Amino acid sequence: MDKSIALIDQVAGRLREHRFTVAVVGEFKTGKSTFVNALLGVDVVPTDVIPATATLNRMTYGLESQIEVYYKDGHHEAVEFNKLKEFVTKEYVTTDLLNTIDEVVVYHPAPYLLNNVDIIDTPGLNDESSMTAVTLSVLPKIDAAILVISGLAPFSDYTRQFLEERLLSADLGRVIFLVNRIGQLGSPEDADRIIQHIEKRIRQNVIDRAKRELG
């Protein structure tokens, strides 16, 4: 009951603030952070050739670029903008630090963040259990999700399971599917085939889930 009350308070707060929160989710190394940077129009979120994101990184509008780290005990602190990676990447964030951080808020004057739209960059799924748990913890707090799928590894069983058991049962207003890394597929024909394959898998899983849940 205590957890439910806290969740209701969070939802009520979002409604009062008219804030719309979108989480970017998906398996590790699908290009989630790169996609977030593309939306913002500037490289804010650290990216790497190995799984990088360790914490929940909330992008929200601010007249000046600045960062605040919010901790689970209720306090928060401002950190220098060039030190973001020390609080959000696996290279620096220890398990002990991860257990204390609630989220890292990045304020930036990006047009996409106007009108109280927040974007949350999440750790990659199916990498480490602690990172997956961080991503799952944000699902009850968001209004929509962008599920990033790599065109190089289209719609794995883990992504299917996450879609069926987590996203479709989270009462989200919208799930948006993004096929990333299309430019690395070689030819437009290959890209079209991959997208058609992913669309078919999504339709099968969504419809099958609806039949089981709704009859």
Query: What are 152-166's pLDDT values in tens digits?
Result: 887 888 888 888 888
* Residue 214 or 174, more confident: 174
Least confident of 10-14, 120-124, 161-165, 181-185: 10-14
Report the C-alpha gap between 64 and 79 in whole angstroms: 14
Across the strands, what pairs with 153?
A: none
Return d(Cα 32, Cα 38) in angstroms, integer: 10
Reported as a pLDDT band with limits 50, 70 and 90, residue 49 is: very low
The answer to whether the Cα torsion of 137, 111, 77, 51 is positive or negative is: positive
Which of 204, 214, 120, 124 is CA-nearest to residue 164?
Answer: 204
Q: What is the pLDDT of residues 71-109, one digit of tens each?
A: 888 899 998 877 777 777 766 676 777 778 888 899 999
* CA atoms lying within 13 Å on the CB side of residue 175: 20
**What's the pTM?**
0.80
User: Which residues neighbour 70 within 8 Å (Cβ) at sequence distance 6 or greater?
Assistant: 76, 101, 102, 103, 104, 105
Ranked by mean pLDDT, the top range of 9-13, 121-125, 190-194 is: 190-194
- Does the pLDDT of residue 173 top 70, yes or no? no
